[in-house]
Chains A and B, each alone.
Chain A
Amino acid sequence: MSTRERVARGRGVAQRYDTALGWVGGRAVRAGAGGRVHWPALAGVAVRVLLCVAAVLVFCGPLVTVVSGAFDHTPDPTELSLLPRHPSLTNFTTAGEYGVWHYLVNSLVIAGGALVLQVAVSVFAAYALARKRFRFSAVVSLLILVTMMLPEEAIAIPLSLVLGDVPVVHVNLQGSLLGVILPLGAWGFSIFVMTEFMREIPVELEEAATVDGAGEFRVFAQIVLPLCRPALGVIAVLGFNMIWEQYLLPMVVATDPADYTLTVALVSLRSNEEVGPGIVLAGALLALVPSLIVYLSLQKSFLRGITTGAVKG
C-alpha cells in the first residue's frame, strides 16, 4: 500500500466518525489511488443522496402540491400534481369573493398584535424573575408553570364565556380580535425561555449603570434589552408559530363567520359545496406563506429555541 493510499484511507476513516452512521463525504469517492473511484464510498453517497431526495419529496412534496393546486385553473381533487397544468390566478380572485383576504387580515392582525404583546409581556416578566429577588418569587414561578401544564384546549369553553364579560372591566371581547389577542398575550413557555437567557447576561453592567444613577426602566431599556436581542428573536419566532397554530381559540371567540382567522375559515370554506378544492388550496397557500417567511428568515433562532426549550414541556 503506497503512502498516498494510506493517507487517503486514513482521511476516509477519520471522516467516518463524524456521524453516527459513518457516512462518507463526496470527497471520499475520489480518494482512491490516482483519483480512481472508490466504489463502496460511491455506493454510500448514492444511497444517501437517494434517501435525501426521498425525504425531501415526502416532507416537502405535499406543500408543493398546494402551490401547484392553488395556481391551477381546473383543480380536480383527485389529480393534485407537482406542477399546475393550467396556471392562473382565478382561484385567488374567487377565494377573495369568499372572504379569504378578510380572513388573512384577521390572521395577520391577531399574529401581529398578539406577538408584540407576548414578547413585551415575556421580557418584562423575565426581567423581574431573572433579576429581582422578592418574596413569593417561587410562587409566581409556580403559577406560571401551572399555566403551562394547563391544556389551553381544556379551558376553551369557559374562556369563551369569560370573554363575553371580562371580570372587573366588564367588556365583551367575543367577536373581537382582541378576544383572541389578549389570551395569547402571556405565554409561560416564552417567559421561561426569556428568563433563562437573561440569567446568562452578566449583572455587572447593570450595577455599573445603577451606580451611575440610571433609573430602573433606563437600565432595563438601554442595557438589558439590547443584550437580549438574540433571545428576542427566539421568543418572537416561537411565539409567532404558537399564535399561527391557534385554532380552537379563534374558533370559540368568533361570534359569526366573519371573525374567523384564515386557518379556521379553511374548514368552512371546504364544507361549502359552491367552493372547489382549488379555492381551498389557494386559501391554504395564503395561510402557509407567512409561517414559511417567518421560519426561513429566523431559522437559526427557531432551531435554537426548540432545542433549548424541547425538554421544558
Chain B
Amino acid sequence: MGTSTRLRSLLIAVLGVVGLVGAGCGFSPAAAKDPTAPLEVWTRSNAASAKVYEAIFAAFEQATGIEVDYKAVPIDFDKWIQRRAAARNLPDVLINDTGMLGLYHSQGLVTEIQPTSIAGGTDITDRAWDSARASDGHHYGVPFSAQAMVTLVRRDWREKLGRPVPTTWAELVELATAFTTQDPDGDGQADTYGMLVPGTTDRGYLSWWAASYLWQGGGDILAPTGDGGYRVAVDSAESVAAVRWLRGLFCDSKVIQPGALTTSTADAHPFFETGKAGIYLTGPYNFGRFDKSLGKDRYEVIPTPAGPAGTTVLGEGENVYLMAGSARPDAQRALAEFLISPPAQQIGMRGQPQPVVRLPVNRTVDVHATYQDPRWDLVASSYAEDARPFPNVPNFQPFRQQTAEALNTIFASCTDDVPGELGALATALTAELQAQGMAVP
C-alpha cells in the first residue's frame, strides 16, 4: 500500500512538472497574424526535396533579410491547407501544383497577381504564366517550375529483345507485349510486365496518367469552346476510341503490372526500379533516383510515341501561391520574385537526388547548360511543343477525380460497354460543369 501510494504521487508529480514546464514553452498566441513573425512557407516535399528548398530559402534570407519559417509537409498536404483555411489562418506562401489554382481561387484562398508588376515577371515564359491563370482570365499565382510527362523505357530489355525505340502506339504495344511475354530480364520466369501504371483513384492519379493518351488519341475530358467556356468531350468518338485502346492494355494484351488500379505514383516507382515493368509514362523528376537505383545506362527517355492525333503530353508544374490573410504582403511578393530569379531556379534544378525546379519558368535560364543532360533537353522540347495542362475551370479536381473513377471501373471490370460508361461519366461531368458555372448553354 505504502509503495503504491508513493509511486502514484511520484507519477502524478512527474507528469505534472513535465506538463506545466512544457505548456509554458509551447504557448505562442496568434502566431499567424503577427507581422513580425517569419514568413510561413509550405511545400509538399519529402525530406530530400525539403533540403533543396531549405537551400533556396537560405539564399533568400541572405539576399533580403526576410526570415522564412519553412515547413515541408509530405503527407495530406491538401487536407492541411483546407484545415488551415477553415481556421482562417493560412500559411503565407505555398508552392504547390498548378492544378490547385482553380480550387484555391474558387475558395478565395489566393491573392491576385499582376504579371507585369512582379519584378522579373517579363522573363517568365508565356506558357508558364498561362498555368497561373484562372478561368476568369486573371492570374492567381507565380509560376515556379514546369514539366512534361516523359516515357521511360528499359533500354537493356529493349536491346536484349532486339526491338526498336517505339514511335507509334502500335509499336508501343508491341514492345510492351514483348516485355511481358519474352522474359526480358532472362531469369526464366514470367515476372515482368510491359507497362507501369499508377492507376489508383486516390487524388485522381489515374487521370494524370491517362490524360496524355486520351489527348494523343484525339479525345479530351473538357474541350474549350473558344469563348472562355468548356464542354464535356469525354464521350466523343475519339475519347471512346482512346479509352478502348487503354482498356485493351489492361484487358486484352494484359501488359500492365498487377495491382495497377490501386497503385499510387509513389508506390509505382519501385516497380520500375526493381525490374517488374519496362515502360513508364511519368514526370521527369526521378532521373536522379533511377540513375542510382537502376543505373543510368539501363533505361532511356524516348520521344513520346505518337497516337492517332499526335504526341500531346500532360505538362503541368508548380506555382508559388501568395495566400490570403497574410500580415506581410510585401514579404510574400519579395519571396515570389526571388523564386523566379535565375539563381533560385538554378539551385532548384541542381537539387539532388531530385530537382524541385524541373524545367525553369525563367527563359533566361539555360536548361542545357544547367543540367548538362540530353534527357532534360528532350523534356524541354516536349514541354515547349507538346505539353498541355488540365484546364483551370474554376476547379478541375472533381473532373479529374470522377474521370479517374470511371476509367478505373472500366479497366477493372474490362467491360465492353466503353461508350456507356463514358456516357454516364459525361452526364456527371456536365452536371459538375454547370455547378461550376462554366457550361456553355
Q: Report if A and B touch in the complex (beta carbons < 8 A).
A: yes
Is B15's CB under 8 angstroms from A115's CB? Answer: yes
> How far does the alpha carbon of A111 sit from the alpha carbon of B22 in the complex, in Å?
11
Of residues 18 to 58 in A, which have CB atoms within 8 Å of B's CB atoms?
A: none
> How far does the alpha carbon of A274 sit from the alpha carbon of B18 in the complex, in Å?
32
Of residues 105 to 137 in B, which have CB atoms within 8 Å of A's CB atoms?
A: none
Q: Which of A108, A112, A114, A161 has the most CB of B within 10 A?
A: A112
Q: Which among A108, A172, A177, A298 is the interface contact of B30 at CB below 8 angstroms?
A: A172
Is A109's CB under 8 angstroms from B22's CB? Answer: yes
Q: Which stretch of B75-83, B280-288, B382-390 is in the interface?
A: B75-83
Smallest CB–CB gap between A312 and chain B, Å?
23
> How far does the alpha carbon of A294 sit from the alpha carbon of B4 in the complex, in Å?
12
Q: Which of B26, B30, B33 has the most CB of A within 10 A?
A: B26
Smallest CB–CB gap between A114 and chain B, Å?
7
Residues of chain B contacted by A236 (CB below 8 angstroms): 8, 12
Q: Which of A160, A161, A172, A233 has the most CB of B within 10 A?
A: A172
**Interface residues on chain B, size class:** 35 or more
Q: Which stretch of A77-85, A127-135, A249-257 is in the interface?
A: A249-257
Q: How would residues 287 to 307 of chain A score, 1 for a CB under 8 Å from any chain B CB and 0 otherwise? A: 000000110011011000000
Q: Which stretch of B86-94, B302-310, B431-439 is in the interface?
A: B86-94
Residues of chain A contacted by B73 (CB below 8 angstroms): 256-257
In the complex, whether B2 has a CB less than 8 A from a CB of chain A is no
Q: How would residues 158 to 193 of chain A score, 1 for a CB under 8 Å from any chain B CB and 0 otherwise? A: 001100100000011111111001000000000000
Is A164's CB under 8 angstroms from B87's CB? Answer: yes
Residues of chain B contacted by A178 (CB below 8 angstroms): 23, 26-27
Of residues 226 to 253 in A, which have CB atoms within 8 Å of B's CB atoms?
A: 229, 233, 236, 240, 252
Is B19's CB under 8 angstroms from A115's CB? Answer: yes
Is B88's CB under 8 angstroms from A252's CB? Answer: no
Residues of chain A contacted by B31 (CB below 8 angstroms): 172, 175
> How far does the alpha carbon of A160 sit from the alpha carbon of B29 in the complex, in Å?
14
> How far does the alpha carbon of A114 sit from the alpha carbon of B46 in the complex, in Å?
33
Residues of chain B contacted by A268 (CB below 8 angstroms): 75-76
> How far does the alpha carbon of A271 sit from the alpha carbon of B80 in the complex, in Å?
14
Smallest CB–CB gap between B34 and chain A, Å?
10
Task: Report if A177-B267 is in contact (Cβ < 8 Å); known contacts: A236-B12, A272-B75.
Answer: no
Smallest CB–CB gap between B117 and chain A, Å?
31
> How far does the alpha carbon of A175 sit from the alpha carbon of B20 in the complex, in Å?
17
Is B87's CB under 8 angstroms from A229's CB? Answer: no
Q: Which of B22, B27, B33 has the most CB of A within 10 A?
A: B22
Is A112's CB under 8 angstroms from B75's CB? Answer: no
In the complex, whether B11 has a CB less than 8 A from a CB of chain A is yes
Task: Report if A164-B29 is in contact (Cβ < 8 Å); known contacts: A108-B22, A109-B18, A112-B15.
Answer: no
Residues of chain B contacted by A181 (CB below 8 angstroms): 19, 23
Is B8's CB under 8 angstroms from A252's CB? Answer: no
Residues of chain A contacted by B264 (CB below 8 angstroms): 273
Smallest CB–CB gap between A156 and chain B, Å?
11
Q: Give the residue name and chain of the B residue nearest to A113 (CB).
A: B19
Is B75's CB under 8 angstroms from A271's CB? Answer: yes
Q: Give the residue name and chain of the A residue nearest to B5 (CB).
A: A229
Q: Give the residue name and chain of the B residue nearest to A109 (CB).
A: B22
Q: How would residues 50 to 92 of chain B score, 1 for a CB under 8 Å from any chain A CB and 0 otherwise? A: 0000000000000000000001011110001001101111000
New A-B contacts (14) at CB < 8 Å, excluding given A157-B86, A255-B87? A109-B19, A112-B16, A112-B20, A113-B23, A115-B16, A160-B86, A160-B87, A172-B30, A236-B8, A257-B75, A273-B266, A273-B267, A297-B8, A297-B11
Q: List 16 A-B contacts (CB under 8 A).
A: A112-B15, A112-B18, A115-B19, A157-B86, A160-B86, A164-B88, A172-B30, A172-B33, A174-B89, A175-B28, A178-B26, A252-B83, A257-B71, A271-B75, A272-B46, A297-B11
